[in-house]
Amino acid sequence: MEAFIKKHQYNYINRCLHELNSTFKNSVDKNVIETNKAYLYEKILSMFESLSDRQKELLDITKIDDPLFIDKYIASLVEYVYGMPEVTNTQLTKLFKKEKKLKLPDKSILDLKKVYLGWIDNSSGKLFIAYNLNGKLLGMACRVTSFTPKSGNICTLCNHIGSESEVAFVSPLCKTSDTGEGAYRSIGFSLCLDSQSCNERITSVEQLERILKDVNNIDK
């Protein structure tokens, strides 16, 4: 069977299995456990537009009757998980052609299964994001700004709460329909500075795609 689970879908399944594990630990009522398994299984299926019977069987968590089998189940899905298409340095250089002396990400990052590609260029103080949206590579260069909140920041993409050293306020320049000089506007939001960790947590691409469309002036 070919890979059919997107990286963010796998993360979502993983989250559902953590919830199931908590149910096993906190409830001795078999009916409660079975009901929750069925509920979580439906949530998992709702992540996919279409599945074959074999794929549904592979995703079926209702067969798990002991929390000790959860890790084995999660591990069994790994071979069916895929990330964003491979990106070359040439593509990234073209994508961020306005960036002078662009520092490209390490090859080790490029080879990972990921929802999106993200890396920091310390020399420019920017967080770079690249993502394949419907076959087109989109990107944004986000300046990391100094931001000291009263409480932890929340990543817009994965909802992780962290200190400024983990989740920072960033600001990308957005394209506009105006072709005049300086025809840009800026927006701001919080993102994880460690994009690899963010990639292990993100369970939906809705916010990522919305932001990239906004930044690149793409009609929704």
| Residues ≥6 apart with Cβ < 8 Å to 137 | 87, 91, 95, 130, 131
pLDDT at 183: 63
The position carrying tokens 């990543």 is: 155
Tokens representing 124 are 């420019």
pLDDT at 214: 93
Nearest to 102 by CA among 123, 86, 84: 123
pLDDT at 186: 83
Under a CB-based contact definition with an 8 Å cutoff, are residues 207 and 16 in contact?
no
pLDDT mean values, one per 10 residues, the chain (220 residues): 96 97 93 96 96 96 93 95 93 92 86 93 92 95 73 89 89 76 78 96 97 88
Identity of residue 172: P
| Residues ≥6 apart with Cβ < 8 Å to 168 | 127, 144, 145, 147, 153, 190, 191, 193
Domain positions in the chain are: 5-82, 89-215
pLDDT at 182: 57
| Residues ≥6 apart with Cβ < 8 Å to 43 | 16
Under a CB-based contact definition with an 8 Å cutoff, are residues 191 and 127 in contact?
yes
Q: How many residues does the chain have?
A: 220
pLDDT at 101: 86
pLDDT tens, position by position, 93-143: 999 998 988 899 988 888 889 999 999 998 888 999 999 999 999 999 999
pLDDT at 26: 92
Residues 179-203 as b/e (b if ≥16 CB within 10 A, e otherwise) read: eeeeeeeeeebbbbbbbeebbbbbb
- Domain 5-82 classification at class level: mainly alpha
Consecutive H or E run containing 140: strand 136-144
Under a CB-based contact definition with an 8 Å cutoff, are residues 12 and 44 in contact?
yes
* DSSP codes joined into one string, 141-161: EEEEPP---SS-EE-TTT--E
- Rounded-to-5 percentages of helix, strand, coil across the chain: 40, 20, 40
